[in-house]
Amino acid sequence: MRVSLFITCYNDTLFPATGQAVVRLLERLGHTVDFNPEQTCCGQMHYNTGYQQEALPLLRRFVRIYRDAEAVCVPSSSCVAMMRDHYPKMAAEQNDAGLARAVDELLPRVYELTELLVHRFGLEDVGAYFPHRVTYHASCHSQRSLHLGDLPLRLLRKVRGIELVDLPNIDRCCGFGGTFAVKMGDVSAAMLAEKMRDVENTRAEVVTAVDNSCLMHIFGGLHRQRAGVETAHIAEILAATESDEVPA
């Protein structure tokens, strides 16, 4: 299948390794990856902070770029949630029937990475090898907007060498929340403290998630404490193979 990658603005800029892992993984599974460099951002930051007018051109941009895509892969559940939860309403408010129809037609072809793998490709074992103790953080949008349930865990369970441990209070927000993390920095930090306690109790080496935004926040806190715990987007675990583990 020809998969169009929407890498998202922050993965593009801050986490290129995640995008590289998505490409490596999808190509290993026999698919062709497209990357249209006209893409920028889904508009979530603007929309959720109250700048809804500013998000609208980004919706139009997204539709223009991907309207003919066979499948759009997004390695970020919160960006997919932005599209599913808000694009239809935003388009309807424009009284632009063409735009509303284009959104309706496009959205069923937009997949968060683990949805693409499990729902579209029917895969759980992607042939990965990752010999580490890992705990999975379920981001709020992945749980409550996308209703991913155990999709990511089903993929992780099939990874060879992995030692998967449950994160206590998995349904509790880590305190990132986009601009919340800086607007309400102290409250966000208090929420992070609880999450880090839960992470450290698992004695995992690596925390993974389907969103690098939560992971940036969680890792930021763990690193400040010199906790010696890493974070990795799920794509990076699923892309890893035995040859990656051979010392150079």
Per CB under 8 A, residues contacting another protein are 7, 9, 11-20, 23, 35, 37-41, 43, 45-52, 54, 57-58, 61, 85, 140-141, 143-145, 171-173, 175-192, 194, 216-217, 219-221, 223-224
Shortest distance in whole angstroms from residue 45 CB to another protein: 7
Our CB check for another protein shows the closer of 162 and 191 to be 191
Query: Token pair of 165, please?
Result: 């441990």
Our CB check for another protein shows the closer of 151 and 159 to be 151
Our CB check for another protein shows the closer of 54 and 125 to be 54
Our CB check for another protein shows the closer of 162 and 233 to be 233
Residue 4 in contact with residue 69, Cβ under 8 Å? yes
Q: Measured between alpha carbons, how far is 37 from 213 in angstroms, rounded to an integer?
A: 22
Shortest distance in whole angstroms from residue 61 CB to another protein: 8
Question: With DSSP H G I counted as helix, E B as strand and the rest as coil, what are the percentages for the chain, rounded to 5?
Answer: 55, 10, 35
- Detail the DSSP E strand segments found in 133-172: 133-136, 163-165
Shortest distance in whole angstroms from residue 216 CB to another protein: 8
Our CB check for another protein shows the closer of 54 and 105 to be 54
Shortest distance in whole angstroms from residue 164 CB to another protein: 24
Q: Measured between alpha carbons, how far is 6 from 73 in angstroms, rounded to an integer?
A: 6
Our CB check for another protein shows the closer of 97 and 190 to be 190
Q: Is the dihedral of CA 83, 84, 86, 91 positive or negative?
A: positive
Residue bearing tokens 């906790």: 227
Query: Token pair of 183, please?
Result: 């607007």
Backbone angles phi, psi at 89, to 5 degrees: -65, -40
Shortest distance in whole angstroms from residue 175 CB to another protein: 6
Residue 215 in contact with residue 181, Cβ under 8 Å? no
Shortest distance in whole angstroms from residue 7 CB to another protein: 5
